[in-house]
Amino acid sequence: MTKVTGRRQAREWAVQLLFQTEFNPDNLDQALADFWNDEEKKPSERDTTYVNEVVHGVIEKRREVDRTISKYTQNWDVDRLGVLDRTILRVAVYEMLFRSDIPPVVSINEAVEIAKAYISKESGRFVNGVLDRIQKELDRPSRTNTPQ
């Protein structure tokens, strides 16, 4: 696997942290502190801010994000999805619904690439299909950010 930098790395870190909270939901602030104390991570301030905002945002808006995902995963309850698929979808859907500074197409492309890298090509196709259907019903441009 190639070295990933910038926003892609930040998204992967957000996925990793949210994946961890699936199994250990207690004390998010401590989990974040422990995560950032890892000597191998050298995030920019921008990436640290992004990750912290996304992790807190996904947790805060989980019900709405999960309702959106459920609406587009035909015959699949969000809880029945694989934990990593669900986590990747949550990050992308959160960005699409609540981060107007990120064009939806970017969220989709990044989620697909992360799914393919960490799970499989089939997972990438699944994630793409779900997110594409969500994006088509959003009330915002798909390729540009919108003023906040």
Domains, the chain, ordered by start: 6-136 (1.10.940.10)
Q: pLDDT tens digit string along 32-61? A: 888 888 777 778 889 899 999 999 999 999
Q: Is 5 helix (H, G, I), strand (E, B) or coil?
A: coil
127: closest CA among 96, 99, 97, 88?
88
Rg for the chain, CA atoms, rounded: 15
For residue 146, give the amino acid letter.
Answer: T
Q: pLDDT tens digit string along 56-88? A: 999 999 999 999 999 999 777 888 899 999 999
Mean pLDDT for all residues in the chain: 88
For residue 95, give the amino acid letter.
Answer: E
Angular region, 81: left φ>0, alpha ψ -120 to 50, beta rest: beta
% of the chain residues with pLDDT over 70: 93
- pLDDT of residue 1 exceeding 60, the answer is no
Within 8 A by CB and 6+ apart from 74, the residues are none
* Residue 4 pLDDT class (50, 70, 90 cuts): low
* Residue 2 pLDDT class (50, 70, 90 cuts): very low
What average pLDDT does range 119-143 have in this prediction? 90
Q: What is the DSSP letter of 80?
A: G
Q: Would you state the pLDDT for residue 146?
A: 65
Element counts in the chain: helices (H) and strands (E): 7, 0
